[in-house]
Structure 1
């Protein structure tokens, strides 16, 4: 069986410079992130008077592109890491990985390996959904690997290519405590109090899981509970601005079943919630970056090593379930909030490589691979060309 590895490839519009990466998703482990390793190839170019650089770019758009007028820009572009590939500056470089070695052997001359690292506290890739008919770039945080070749004598001669990547987080191996809360409300002119106990079945959920909420209402007051409302709320904190906060209702259940709950009565009830980006249908909801259509999922909860650190920037995502007891216009409401974590499970890399290898071997009888860099039956590489996008 031939073991194959995907290699993502993207070239500039003039074909002078090309980026090769073994993957486009890099994991943030809270205490550190996976390094970005790849190669840059210069196609048929005499580069003695050229300068070749590769950069890790983070773009943060915090306003709509159509609202940018009179030179006002709602987009910040940050260069988080940079490496000069040619001419060599004498900087110490880590040894090339196995993928880089094979690419260097295959491409030959004018091929340069690079390794870039995410800085601490850099945000994960998140974008906000756009309203129907809205054009332009979506708000959120996106990452690119940018490779440039420029002439040292003529600054107007420059070729550049951007390849989009994602920085992601996976769910922790140990979930936290089961969320549970008890809230009470008393009234000024009447004796007794209203008690609400709400509990989730667990603290950690994966995308696509159902959320079970159990409530227990004890009405020892003279008020009447007329309706129960349960919401799944997504909270977005913009860490680069003071007071930047946005909430979106992902899922809502409103019921009068079991109501009214009169004085001296009680009620126990369970709700099943289905939070999903597919059924949300609203703008301004945070989803995982660079995902569209049916593959789009809600943005994962952001894990932080230190929530009080002021060096954090970007978007911080959190989720909670809010339960409200509606008492009418005069009585007001009683609300309880239960925070939870929504993330993707950590994948099994061995199973992913085996599945990709089997699918590639089965497709060899029907179609020819785009590019095959494997000279050995034990180690093959195939290219996935990417379409260009102007950024």
Structure 2
């Protein structure tokens, strides 16, 4: 028969609480069971339902399921249960000893937490600035975790540049407005390239070192801090067993000596782990020099980015200042195609060489009026806007 007493009552209570919730049984069943089996005639609820964890359920399996745990768990499993017992007693506020860390070590831990939290926030907000779309950021994150290369995505500025140039060609490159649209589109494309370069440099020189810091130094410190807490639980559990053992009882002299040796070994392991953790925390505390260099690289990248953008914008402004809005004229429309004309589609752009020729834009629909040369290489055509001139016959295909 497996006997449970002391703090094990508390652990079985939590395990059964979790089990009843999984089985969707009334919580009163647990209170009745506990007060009848373990707590005598004085009902006491030691912990709430929400405090029952997977560790407590695991202890329930140990107590009531035959042949659990497997023998392969060995001593590590026993240590895990001892830590669970100590942890549960501390959480419910029972009068148990808890080893306190030295003040300087606690201060280093507080500094490390601040470093971790602020670095994560800086990275998160920087990524938001570089890519405001959260869906795109999530896609980039998934591709990074899968170690796959994300296909090149057009930026909003690149799409704007393409839209402006398309509109300019449709309105006519020879018109003031169409010419201005094409010029602005070209400059917006240049700005988009500068933006991509800034995003790439910021990722390489600022975000990547910070991420490497979090995934390397900080994760190592957190791992050692977790091990330090485990060593503390082992030490406090060993001291608790030693305190409960009567050293004056001759029957328990061997047990007391065993527990005293366990406490001595646990204290040595705790001190050793505390020193390891302290050294790592002191290394993390000296992070600011490196992070300052990363920050300066980020600011320098911003300075170059905005300076380049300003130069491009100034150049574009000077070019646009040469175009007079008063030169824009309303297109001359006609209600019907010229008599005897044939509709044709322009295959590719054509730039007129002289005033007698007509400039063409790809996919533009025009009307061919007559043949301009005996060999048929040149035609007389009219645009929808009413402009008329000679065009090469090889640049069009008839639609009817």
Q: TM-score, structure 1 length as denominator? A: 0.19
Higher strand residue share? 1
**Which has more radius of gyration?**
2
